[in-house]
Amino acid sequence: MSVLDDIVAGVAEDLEARRRTVPLEQMRQRARAAAPALDAFAALGGGDAREDTLRVIAEVKRSSPSKGALAEITDPASLASSYENGGAAVISVLTEERRFGGSLADFDAVRAAVDIPLLRKDFTVDEYQIWEARAHGADLVLLIVAALDDTRLQDFLDLTHELGMNALVETHTAEEIDRAVAVGAKIIGVNVRNLKTLDVDRSVFASLASSIPASAVVVAESGVRDAADVGHYASEGANAVLVGEALVRHNDPAATIAEFTRTGAQALAARRVHGKG
């Protein structure tokens, strides 16, 4: 069993427990009563007009399967507020409990504290989670191509759009990018972490990102250690970067986000000068 398979199995078990507490129809009612979703596609630079701006998706993340415990986040709302003050375009909140130490309680605390789009970062394996995300005020959900067949990928993406949300559709290979494009994904993430070994290879980003249509927002996932990595991803076609570890371990995440944004903007501008953007 791969790491992804193991995580997905745990996620499925945990969501069944929540479903017994709040049945699907009740969750649908809560989702329909929630305030309208914010436009995360626009926040990440999607649309007709593209600026020389690198967007940062800043993550509230306590731990990970590859690194173990990252930070003791006692006040996720305060951390998220610092992200917003630093210029983050979107905030990602881990809600997977077993491997990442997250929760919907973390998500609710962040939602009450910030006014920018939120990504409910979990392993979506059932439509219940999408309704649940919307009920808690999510504007984005994560759809991992490797964890879904084409039918469920299409159905889940359609449901997010039906609910006024967007989806970050995560890919790891050229074949997965083709599948993401085929279902009409507008925000496509390229995760350079190998799902089997958990190793990071930043060099694969360029070859994969180059095959994503210009109409989509391209998000670089994993491997951001510092501003140099942000500049690398931006120069190779990223419109946004998703950053967790480098922020939660930093004593001034707002300043770090501002630095990442400046570095990314410089790299994007240079890319356009050279006719690559």
Closest CA to 168 of 147, 142, 138: 142
Judge whether 114 and 86 are in contact, CB under 8 Å.
no
Q: Are 247 and 62 in contact (CB under 8 A)?
A: no
Helix/strand/coil for 102: coil
- 67 counts as catalytic: no
C-alpha span between 258 and 86 (Å, rounded):
5
Active site residue 166: no
| Catalytic-residue membership of 175 | no
Query: Which residue type occupies 43?
Result: A
Query: Catalytic: 191?
Result: yes
Among 115, 107, 173, 118, smallest CA distance to 146 is for: 173
Q: How many CA atoms lie within 13 A of 51 on its CB side?
A: 11
* Tokens 């006692």 -> residue: 74
Active-site entry in 84, 132, 176, 221: 221
The catalytic residue among 166, 222, 235, 239 is: 222
Give the active site residue among 63, 64, 92, 191: 191
- One of 132, 170, 236, 245 is an active-site residue; which one? 170
Q: Is 221 a catalytic residue?
A: yes
Please pick, among 64, 92, 121, 245, the residue that the annotation labels catalytic: 121
Closest by alpha carbon to 120, among 132, 129, 133? 133
Active site residues: 59, 61, 121, 170, 191, 221-222
